[in-house]
Homo-oligomer: A and B are copies of this chain.
Amino acid sequence: MGKNLTSRAEDYSKWYNELVVKSDLAENSGVRGCMVIKPYGYAIWEKMQAQLDKMFKETGHENAYFPLFIPKSYLSKEASHVEGFAKECAVVTHYRLKNAEDGSGIVVDENAKLEEELIVRPTSETIIWDTYRRWIQSYRDLPLKVNQWANVVRWEMRTRLFLRTAEFLWQEGHTAHATREEAIEEAELMMNVYAEFAEKYMGVPVIKGTKTESERFAGAEETYCIEALMQDGKALQAGTSHFLGQNFAKAFDVKFANKEGTQDYVWATSWGVSTRLMGALVMTHSDDNGLVLPPQLAPIQVVIVPIYKGLDQLDAISEKVEPLVKELRDKGITVKYDTRDTHKPGFKFNEYELKGVPVRLAVGQRDLANGTFEVARRDTLSKEIVKADEVVEKVVLLMDEIQENIFNKALDYRKGHITEVDSYDDFKKVIEEKGGFVSAHWDGSAETEDRIKEETKATIRCIPLDAKEEQGKCMVTGKPSNKRVLFAKAY
């Protein structure tokens, strides 16, 4: 298998598209904008799901499931919400097909028109808050902390595998609280959970912050986010957590009797991450040879490739390898021993490099004679010869080392790509030539934000949580500003 992969330097965007398909993560389907997530890609998503689900449960959340369809009238109840989602949604209008009378095939049965159109959920705040009205009567019913794993649909016109698809998979948490403070605390907690997941498991460093008003979720009072930086200098929003105030409680009339016995509207949050994380994972670590996966999320952590001629040699190798496979599995490591005789070792090396398997062991006749294995790391592409009785220890060590190394590499890249500027000219120059995050003063107005976006395509990715107080002047208008915000071009 030749990889024939476009290099990142040549065309980053093409490199990404080719890599996702060639490494068997996903492909486009016959349905416009909808992807097929292939078994290898889905196995990574399953690992992400399992870890996130564990973290959600550890922070007191339960899973539930709400309807796929949202009646049109529900969507309209929260004014800015419908504004944000009505323009790109799939609308169900009929519930039956029939044979065409002229025999030309099957057609929509006009006698089966719905009284009210149903929207395929773009997000579930409305259907969930319609439900919460039945679930919440008293402060004893609060907090209510529910998560849902589901598919959602947003009718995007320009789609890209994982990054922007009409249908995508995600989780959406929806919580209800008795006080404003508790809801804000929850929204911040979940931003921190996402950040921990991104950094510890995906190996993707992120910046935590809040969105400006114009970048907020439709219906939110505050949107917290984690922002990552891709290798082409563009930012990617990897997860958001919203403080929704009492907006949805008011729209759906969800009140509770507080401890004093008076009625009050409930405070809300929602938060989500999606299969978009797969795109972030690919773009953060991978190289011109293919995927580079963090050991924590790799479906295969170690592959063992035997180099042999004829079954006798294979048998001799297997005698050494099989106990090793067992030992590694006992340590909780996922191992594949690839004995296919339909493909040559070189083909296999290429394949597992493309698929980002963190560690590859190879063993041939000389290794057998010397009692050694060749151990190759995917992240550094380095190889060394290791004695058979030290291989398990080495592999266990490498799992942590590779996880740490790819995180640090991404962190170094990001550190080198946060530029402070004080003039709009410098800003444009950095955005255009270097990319990355640009830290600058802004006057806090939507007008200035819009103007910058129009003139440079850069948006405010976030107001970092750790931004220091610093007197300055807006780089565009010269008006006063007391902290820097982060700009970037973004996915």
* Chain A residues within 8 Å of B, Cβ to Cβ: 27, 29-31, 34-39, 42-43, 45-46, 62-76, 82, 86-98, 105-106, 108, 117-120, 127, 130-131, 134, 140, 146, 150-151, 153, 155, 167, 169, 342
Contacts and interface: CB of A to CB of B under 8 A. Distances in A.
A369 B117 CA distance: 65
B31 A69 contact: yes
Contacts of A167: 67-69
A189 to B, nearest CB: 19
A150 B87 CA distance: 26
Contacts of A117: 97, 108
Given A69-B31, A118-B31, A127-B31, A64 B91 contact: no
20 contacts: A27-B134, A30-B130, A30-B131, A35-B67, A36-B64, A36-B131, A37-B65, A42-B63, A43-B62, A68-B151, A76-B105, A86-B96, A88-B96, A90-B118, A91-B93, A91-B94, A91-B97, A93-B93, A93-B94, A97-B117
A336 B155 CA distance: 44
How many chain copies? 2
B76 A106 contact: yes
B95 A92 contact: no
B89 A96 contact: yes
A105 B92 CA distance: 18
B90 A64 contact: no
A229 to B, nearest CB: 28
Contacts of A150: 151
A112 to B, nearest CB: 8
Given A34-B69, A35-B67, A82-B106, 9 more contacts: A29-B130, A36-B65, A42-B65, A43-B63, A46-B63, A91-B93, A91-B96, A91-B108, A92-B93
A104 to B, nearest CB: 11
Contact of A39 (B64, B74, B108, B130): B64
A316 to B, nearest CB: 26
B67 A120 contact: no
Nearest to A62: B39
A119 to B, nearest CB: 7
Nearest to A275: B65
Contacts of A30: 71, 74, 127, 130-131
Contact of A68 (B87, B134, B153): B153
A153 B67 CA distance: 10
A91 B88 contact: no
A146 B37 CA distance: 11
Contact of A72 (B88, B97, B134, B155): B97
- Report the 10 A-B pairs with minimum CB-CB distance, sorted nearest first: A34-B67, A39-B62, A86-B97, A37-B65, A91-B94, A95-B155, A31-B67, A93-B93, A90-B92, A39-B64
Given A42-B65, A67-B35, A120 B97 contact: no
A167 B119 CA distance: 14
